[in-house]
Structure 1
Amino acid sequence: MHQVWPLPARPVEDDADLETLYRYPVDEDPGGSRRSWLAVNFVSSLDGGIEIEGRSRGLSTPADRRVFALGHDLADVVLLGSGTALAEAYPGLRPDAAAADRRRRHGLADVPPLAVVTSGSFPADATSIVDVAVPTIVVTAAAAPADQQAAWRDAGARVLIAGNEAVDLASAVRQLADDGYRRIDCEGGPGLVGTLLHADLVDEMRLTIAPLAVAGRAGRVATSADPLEAPRGFTVASLLVDDDGSLLIRYVREALE
Structure 2
Amino acid sequence: MINQLLPHSAADRSDDDLLELYGYPAERPWVRFNFITSLDGSATHQGVSAPLGNDGDRRLFGLLRRVSDVILVGAGTVRAEGYAGPLVSEEDSRWRTEQGLPAHPALAIISGTLGIEPDSDLFRLSPVRPILITTAAAEKERVRSLSEVADVVSAGAESVSARACVSLLNDRGLGRILCEGGPSIFGGFLAEDAVDELCLSLSPLLAGGQGTHIAAGVGSPELRQLALASLLESDSALYGRWMRADNR
TM range (shorter): over 0.9
Residue 253 of structure 1: aligned partner: 244
User: What pairs with 1:188-199 in structure 2 (closer than 5 Å)?
Assistant: 188-199=181-192
Residue 179 of structure 1: aligned partner: 172
Tell me which of 228, 239, 257 is aligned to 2:231.
239
Matched residue SS, 2:147: helix
Q: Describe the superposition over 1:9-37 as per-residue Cα deviations: whole angstroms up to 9, x where unpaired.
A: 1114310001011122222xxxxxxx211
Structure 1: where are the runs of 5+ without partners?
28-34
Amino acid corresponding to residue 22 of structure 2 in structure 1? Y
Q: Given the superposition, is the C-alpha separation of residues 166 and 13 from structure 1 closer, same or farther in structure 2, using an over 3 Å criterion?
A: closer
The count of corresponding residues between Structure 1 and Structure 2 is: 246
Matched residue SS, 1:255: coil
Residue 31 of structure 1: aligned partner: none
Percent of aligned positions that are identical: 35
Q: CA RMSD in A?
A: 1.4
Q: Quote the Cα distance in structure 1 between the aligned partners of 2:90 and 2:122.
A: 22
Matched residue SS, 2:109: strand
1:41 to 2:42 alignment: no
Q: Quote the Cα distance in structure 2 between the aligned partners of 1:170 and 1:249.
A: 25
Q: Quote the Cα distance in structure 2 between the aligned partners of 1:95 and 1:47.
A: 30
Q: Describe the superposition over 1:105-161 as per-residue Cα deviations: whole angstroms up to 9, x where unpaired.
A: 44321111210001123222343333201100000011101100011112x100111
Structure 2 length-normalised TM: 0.95
Structure 1 length-normalised TM: 0.91
Contact 2:94 2:103 in 1 (8 A): no
Q: Given the superposition, is the C-alpha separation of residues 174 and 102 from structure 1 closer, same or farther in structure 2, using an over 3 Å criterion?
A: same
Q: Describe the superposition over 1:166-224 as per-residue Cα deviations: whole angstroms up to 9, x where unpaired.
A: 11221121011011001101011000000011111111100111110011100001111
Q: Quote the Cα distance in structure 1 between the aligned partners of 2:242 and 2:184.
A: 19
Residue 76 of structure 2: aligned partner: 83
Residue 214 of structure 1: aligned partner: 207
Amino acid corresponding to residue 73 of structure 1 in structure 2? R
Contact 1:75 1:184 in 2 (8 A): yes
User: What pairs with 1:10-159 in structure 2 (closer than 5 Å)?
Assistant: 10-27=10-27, 35-123=28-116, 124-154=118-148, 156-159=149-152
Residue 32 of structure 1: aligned partner: none
Contact 2:37 2:43 in 1 (8 A): yes
Structure 2: where are the runs of 5+ without partners?
none
Task: Give every structure 1 segment of 4 or more consecutive aligned residues whose post-TM-superposition deviation is greater than 2 Å.
Answer: 92-97, 104-107, 124-131
After alignment, is 9-18 or 78-87 more displaced?
9-18
Q: Quote the Cα distance in structure 2 between the aligned partners of 1:157 and 1:149.
A: 10
Matched residue SS, 1:11: coil
